[in-house]
Amino acid sequence: MAAGPFNATMILAILPQIGLLALGVLVSILDLLWKENQKRNLGWLTASGLALIMVLAGVFTAPAAQPVLVFGGMLRHDWLSFVFQMIFLFGAALTALFAMDSEPLSRKGEAYMLLVAATLGMTLMASAADLIMLFLAIEMTSIPLYILAGFIVGDNKSTESGFKYLLFGATTSAVMLYGFSLLYGFAGTTQIYQLAGILQQGQFSTFTLIAVLMLVLVGFSFKVSAVPFHFWAPDVYEGSPTPIAGFLSTASKAAGFAVLMRFLLVVFPMTEHYWIPLLAVISTATMIVGNTLALAQKNVKRLLAYSSIAQAGYMLIGVASVSPLGITASVFYLTAYLVTNLAAFGVVTIVGRSTGSDELSAYAGLSRRAPGLAMVFLVALLSLGGIPPFGGFVGKILVFAAAINSNLIWLAVLGILNSIIALYYYLMVLKVVYLYRSEDENRPLAIPRSWAIAMGLCVVGILLLGTVFGPWYQWSVTAASSLF
Amino acid sequence: MLLEYLPILILMILALVLSILVIVLGTIFGPHRPTPRKGLPYESGMTPFGPGTRRVSVRYYLVAVLFILFDVEVVFFLPWAVVFRKLGVFGLIEMLVFIGILLVGYVYAWKKGALEWE
């Protein structure tokens, strides 16, 4: 790989990363300088900083039609990475807003700094084009998230959550790294875009390649919480601070999908016939396990955790379709899922703060205590269930269409059946919210301005993605085209 | 392809066989006269003191983390210094950025009281 001279394109390509680094440094300096009662403003600073980075990146970083490898082949500057970077930045900005008034996070500068650091790792994950860069990016994302999951000091559940996440993450990383090392051993290069060619020329048995693929898949499946690497999700979401759980279930999952798509399509196109059924089976298992276990949940955070496992299954359908439409569908689905799930976790944050409980019974009479909030929850849950005119509906249509186009009709049918099961438990929650009465009905819930802004953004996002989906769809198409 | 790794396999088997052999031969032919002193757990040649599972202060952990952080920083200086002339001004600026970021971390750790023992 020609390293090429250093030039301005390279700097522009990593503009979001530079911005994130500067923001992280700024937050940690201000954390030292500001007094305790000012520190809540770090949330505003982080959110507006992330928004500013989005604008700057949108103006200066938008990739050319022809993808380029920068920094000696370490990063690939293409539309897929760009669209995903925007998704992460948006998710992180909303999470910063939600963190501002969430008790364990609001006055801790470290929380915002770690959030920015994790986002930096994700942006690198989306554009990594080298095994070493990829591994470093995954670790850079995971380690701050381990700490954030266990952020509530002195709370056993949070500590358990952080520790469990760490153990699962470290083990799956190790297995994935073993797969990477075998790939390097076979091909003699760590550059992802050179690997495919060398693997195709060399006389490697399909069996060996599939074995390596499965080792690598372990790490990615953990990130997207696909069955059978989903066990951590409910416990980690339940114990960690709610805004962080929302971030884990959306941005972190999206990062996993970005890596999964690029890796499967670029490194292993020659063994497609073997891993498509594998991926289809994983997707089916993920949907069924997530949805059926969600049916029995009494804790809303755990219910959303199982629902997010099931959602990963739908997105995997798009990846398993291995067509431009399939990847487009997955990217679109991820975008819709991001705004939807962040809104749902936002509602859980607010209710959790006011009632001190995440149990389903705490949601009784919510529609009378806070009609607006109940409405946001309604929009979010119906969008998760795939009801028009919300974003989730368009996402589901695209995913199922992609499966049918690629002759995976059985997968589409299973997906549709699963959506019906999912709708049952989403409506169960809404039943409690709208129909059940409680004694606290006359006490309205307080909703700080930061949360109102974040929820407003989410709802607008859900509605836009469900109605005026043209531009977002076009972006997803462009993103998908950079893989084929 | 896989055959190229045969020497490693042979080495592993040899290591396994040899270590088992040495222990087995030692127990069969060697004299076995234990004394209380011989039976003590080995601790750098000193007489062991205190229980083996006592608690270690969590503060050591913080010191260890800081040590690794700044130790790695120094490790990066070495290759940089070797090719310093070739890299020119670009290398200098790059390293200043690197040190600058770590310096912020250092000040942060200092101000937050990570360097105070009490």
C-beta atoms of B101 and A25 within 8 A: yes
A288 falls within a domain:
yes
Question: How many beta-carbon pairs under 8 angstroms link A with B?
Answer: 16
Are A294 and A313 within 8 A, CB to CB? no
Amino acid at A345: F
Q: Which of B1, B90, B101 sits opposite A6 (nearest CB)?
A: B90
Domain that holds residue A295: 276-484
Are A319 and A261 within 8 A, CB to CB? yes
pLDDT attached to residue A3:
45
- DSSP secondary structure string for all residues of A115-127: HHHHHHHHHHHHH
Are A151 and A245 within 8 A, CB to CB? no
Contacts of B101 in chain A (CB under 8 A): 21, 25
Chain A CA closest to residue B110: A32
Nearest-angstrom CA–CA distance, A170 and B7: 31
A454 falls within a domain:
yes
C-beta atoms of A32 and B108 within 8 A: yes
Residue to mutate among B72, B90, B104, with most A CBs inside 10 A, is B104
* A45-89 tens-digit pLDDT: 999 999 999 999 988 888 887 888 888 888 999 999 999 999 999
Are A343 and A462 within 8 A, CB to CB? yes
The residue among A332, A335, A315 whose CA lies nearest residue A476 is A332
Nearest-angstrom CA–CA distance, A286 and A316: 9
Token couple for A121: 């790792």
Nearest-angstrom CA–CA distance, A217 and A101: 37
Measured in angstroms, the CA of B78 and the nearest CA of chain A are apart by: 21
C-beta atoms of B104 and A6 within 8 A: no
Report the 3 state secondary structure along chain B: CHHHHHHHHHHHHHHHHHHHHHHHHHHHHCCCCCCCCCCCCCECCECCCCCCCCCCCCHHHHHHHHHHHHHHHHHHHHHHHHCHHHHHHHHHHHHHHHHHHHHHHHHHHHHCCCCCCC
Chain A CA closest to residue B103: A25
Token couple for B66: 């800081």
pTM, full prediction? 0.88
C-beta atoms of A6 and B108 within 8 A: no
CATH architecture assigned to B56-118: Up-down Bundle (1.20)
pLDDT attached to residue A373:
92
Assess B90–A contact: CB distance below 8 Å, yes or no: yes
Q: How many Cβ atoms sit within 10 Å of the Cβ of residue A425?
A: 22
DSSP-derived letter for residue A251 is I
Measured in angstroms, the CA of A175 and the nearest CA of chain B are apart by: 21
Relative to beta strand A68-70, strand A75-77 is: antiparallel
pLDDT attached to residue A2:
40
A352 falls within a domain:
yes
| Residue that the structure tokens 């109940």 belong to | A374
Does the model's ipTM exceed the 0.90 cut?
no
Specify burial of residue B83 (Cβ count, 10 A radius: 0-12, 13-18, 19+). exposed
Contacts of A28 in chain B (CB under 8 A): 104-105, 108
Chain A CA closest to residue B113: A32
- Helices (H) then strands (E): counts for chain A: 21, 2
Measured in angstroms, the CA of B61 and the nearest CA of chain A are apart by: 15
CA dihedral A195, A198, A200, A203 (to 10 degrees): -130
Compute mean pLDDT per 10 residues along chain A, 484 residues long, and list them: 60 91 92 86 93 92 84 89 94 93 83 95 94 94 94 89 94 95 90 87 83 93 92 92 94 94 89 89 95 92 94 94 92 95 93 86 88 93 92 94 93 94 94 87 82 93 92 92 86
Q: Which of A6, A29, A203 sits opposite B104 (nearest CB)?
A: A29
Enumerate the β-bridge partners of residue A318. none
- Cα distances from A415 to residues A285, A286, A425, B35, in angstroms, run 11, 11, 16, 71
How open is the CA angle A151-A156-A157, to the nearest 5 degrees? 75
A86 falls within a domain:
no
Assess B96–A contact: CB distance below 8 Å, yes or no: no
Q: Give buried/exposed letters for B32-55 (b at 16+ CB in 10 A, else e).
A: eeeeeeeeeeeeeeeeeeeeeeee
Measured in angstroms, the CA of B48 and the nearest CA of chain A are apart by: 33
Measured in angstroms, the CA of A114 and the nearest CA of chain B are apart by: 13
Tell me the Cα Rg of chain A.
21
Are A124 and A137 within 8 A, CB to CB? yes
C-beta atoms of B105 and A204 within 8 A: no
Measured in angstroms, the CA of A2 and the nearest CA of chain B are apart by: 17
* B70-80 tens-digit pLDDT: 888 888 889 99
Kindly indicate the confidence band of residue B32, based on its pLDDT and cuts at 50, 70 and 90. confident
Structural domain tally of chain A? 1
